[in-house]
Amino acid sequence: MIDFKLKTDDELISSFASGCNEAFDCLIERYDSEVLSYIRLSVADWDDANDIFQEVFIKVINTIREGRYQMQGKFRSWLLRIAHNAIIDYFRRAKAQKTISLSNDIYREDFIERIPCSSPNIEELLIANNTRQEVREWVAQLPKQQREVLILRFSQEMSFKEIAEYTGVSINTALGRMRYALINLRKIALKERAFAQ
């Protein structure tokens, strides 16, 4: 009996392309939670998120069956890029003005704790006297590109190489966006705390 869980993504894709549906079932099981979580970062409504999720995997199935998928060991990045495009299409259809909508539950519970503290000051700002919801509101104020890198890095746990491939920029650009995201997050936190006093 074949243990599909031990196979690589490309091996599973090759098996599925040859007619083995069980291989694709294993591929879905490997990534379904991550893809749905990624969609939920942008789409608050569960029904809509699930519809997009279905669209993503239907597109994956069609692309593989038509022989248009190029096996380069980058299936995960390609899959998340399809999800990203599906989210954009969703908002276009809804004629929304923004492609990312933040709600109270879009981040994993430990997302805030995953943001690194570059100095004692930022650590105090992120931990002392601030709720997770307050920090989420600060993150929501970041420019879209900086917010996206922050979410991909600490919620999706992507490497900077994966972030660069996904967003279509160089690794240095991805690193720079992260750096500015943390700098701006600190500025926002300082401003909010000063305003509160």
For residues 130 and 192, the answer to whether their CB atoms sit within 8 Å is: no
Nearest CA to 185 among 128, 131, 116?
A: 116
Of 174 and 91, more confident:
174
pLDDT of residue 56: 93
Of 29 and 100, more confident:
29
pLDDT at 3 > cutoff 60: yes
Tell whether the torsion through CA atoms of 111, 136, 83 and 166 is positive or negative: negative
Q: What is the pTM for the complete model shown?
A: 0.51
Per-residue pLDDT band at 195 (split at 50, 70, 90): low
- pLDDT tens-digit map of 56-91: 999 999 998 888 888 777 888 899 889 988 988 887
- CA dist 54 and 40 (Å) reads 13
| DSSP letter string, 95-152 | T-S-S----TTSS-TTHHHHSPPSSHHHHHHHHTT--HHHHHHHHHTS-HHHHHHHHH
Mean pLDDT lowest for which of 17-21, 104-108, 145-149, 175-179? 104-108
**Helix, strand, coil share (%) of the chain residues, nearest 5:** 70, 0, 30
Which structural domains are found in the chain, ordered by start? 4-93 (1.10.1740.10), 111-196 (1.10.10.10)
Per-residue pLDDT band at 197 (split at 50, 70, 90): low
- CA dist 171 and 36 (Å) reads 26
